């Protein structure tokens, strides 16, 4: 798992965080040191508010611990970064129950359907009986795309007609899962732009069907965010949080960008834990997020 996370962070490490080692080289800590560090963190797409908060916390640590050399900052930086990634409460997918229902939301192109296939593969490999629901009925070929991933993961897919009612398809999926003895139901949802009012209302309807049909469902609402979109993804996330109670994030395409710093923005600005990271194109390329491994992976070569 660590190898996968480490490899997915190679661009971030090479282009941004790897440069921090040179900034925090020999010599005393100066205002130029802080300015260079701040610029690199923003370049990593940590976002201005999160970066400023981190640098201020780091300055406080330097004063408390009496640090004065730039090379002493590396260990302090790692500690502050780790402290930002607060360990989340128990993941709802791990709790024992007859049927766990998970909604997966996100805009088209974020890797949502691909992530669902990877989640199915991940939990099937851990002994769960997984069924998928093709609730994205509005996008052309969305149903067929999910069925392809269902075939790859060797799990059944409950689908309706293109343009049909997503809430009705979700209800059918819940009934089918119960009747056939499946214990994990993953629901794909429509992914038109988050600014579309009707889309958000459809998500609310699907959420309501889950709540009425299964005790305390949906047990998780995972938001898929595309790492290369950087801070724009946070705007999307805010809109989804307004419509459904998002509980965690799946961050995709991290291996194709240098914007690994947005993980810290997700925690600080959204108050959401990152649950999984997409580490490649294959169906097995999905790693449960581990904060210690993530922070170490940012600085592995330093």
CB atoms within 10 A of CB 200: 19
Which of 73, 80, 6 shows the shortest CA–CA distance to 46? 80
Q: What 3-state class would DSSP assign to 134?
A: strand
On whether residue 43 sits in a domain, the answer given is no
Q: Let me know if residue 282 belongs to a domain.
A: no
User: How would DSSP label each residue in 196-225?
Assistant: -HHHHHHHHHHHHHHHHHSTT--SEEEEEE
- pTM of the predicted structure, to 2 decimals: 0.91
Q: In Å, how far are 10, 37, 164, 222, 243 from 13, measured between CA atoms? A: 5, 14, 45, 27, 35
249, 272 Cβ separation under 8 angstroms = yes
Domain contains 154 = yes
Q: Using an 8 Å Cβ cutoff, are 215 and 208 in contact?
A: no
Q: Is residue 138 part of a domain?
A: yes
Strand partners, 100: 184
In a domain, 7, yes or no: no
Residue 63 domain-assigned (yes or no) = no
- What is the distance between the alpha carbons of residues 71 and 67, in angstroms, rounded to a whole number? 9
Below-50 pLDDT ranges, the chain? 302
3-state SS class at 249: strand
Establish if 236 belongs to a structural domain. yes
Those residues with Cβ within 8 angstroms of residue 293's Cβ, 6 or more apart along the chain or in another chain = 1, 2, 5, 6
- Which pLDDT score, from 0 to 100, does residue 302 have? 44
Query: How many CA atoms within 13 Å lie on the side-chain side of 8?
Result: 29
User: Per the domain annotation, does 11 fall within a domain?
Assistant: no
User: What's the structural domain count of the chain?
Assistant: 1
Q: Which residues contact 226 (CB under 8 A, 6 or more apart)?
A: 106, 107, 109, 110, 111, 233, 252, 253
Q: What is the pLDDT of residue 196?
A: 65
**Residue 154, domain extent:** 100-246
Which ranges of the chain does DSSP label H, i.e. alpha helix? Answer: 2-8, 10-12, 18-23, 31-43, 48-65, 73-84, 112-124, 142-153, 166-180, 197-213, 232-243, 262-270, 291-298
Integer-rounded Cα Rg, in Å, for the chain is: 21
Omega cis (within 30) before 218: yes
| Contact in structure between 244 and 82 (CB atoms under 8 Å) | no
- The domain that holds 239 is classified in CATH as 3.40.50.300
Measure the CA–CA gap between 84 and 264, rounded to whole angstroms.
7
Q: 15-24, pLDDT tens digit by residue?
A: 788 788 777 7
């Amino acid at each position: 798992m660590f190898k996968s996370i480490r490899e997915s962070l190679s661009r971030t490490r090479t282009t941004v965080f790897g440069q921090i080692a040179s900034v925090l080289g020999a010599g005393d800590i100066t205002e130029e040191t802080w300015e260079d560090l701040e610029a690199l963190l923003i370049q990593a797409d940590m976002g201005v508010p999160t970066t400023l908060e981190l640098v201020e916390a780091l300055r406080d640590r330097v004063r408390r611990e009496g640090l004065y050399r730039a090379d002493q900052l590396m260990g302090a930086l790692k500690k502050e970064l780790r402290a930002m990634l607060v360990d989340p409460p128990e993941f709802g997918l791990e709790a024992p129950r007859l049927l766990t229902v998970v909604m997966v939301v996100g805009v088209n192109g974020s890797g949502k359907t691909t992530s669902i296939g990877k989640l199915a593969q991940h939990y099937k490999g851990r002994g769960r009986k997984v069924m998928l629901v093709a609730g994205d009925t509005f996008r052309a070929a969305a149903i067929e795309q999910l069925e392809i991933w269902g075939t790859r993961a060797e799990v059944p897919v409950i689908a309706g007609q293109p343009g049909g009612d997503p809430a009705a398809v979700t209800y059918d999926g819940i009934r089918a899962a119960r009747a056939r003895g499946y214990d994990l139901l993953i629901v794909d949802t429509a992914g038109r732009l988050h600014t579309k009012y009707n889309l958000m209302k459809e998500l609310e309807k699907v959420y309501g069907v889950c709540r009425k049909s299964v005790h305390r469902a949906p047990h998780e609402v995972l938001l898929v965010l595309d790492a290369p979109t950087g801070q724009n993804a946070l705007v999307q996330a805010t809109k989804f949080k307004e419509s459904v109670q998002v509980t965690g994030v799946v961050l995709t395409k991290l291996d194709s960008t240098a914007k690994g710093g947005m993980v810290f923005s997700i925690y600080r600005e959204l108050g959401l834990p990152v649950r999984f990271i997409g580490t490649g194109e294959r169906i097995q390329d999905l790693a449960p997020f581990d904060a210690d491994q993530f922070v170490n992976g940012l600085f592995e070569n330093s």
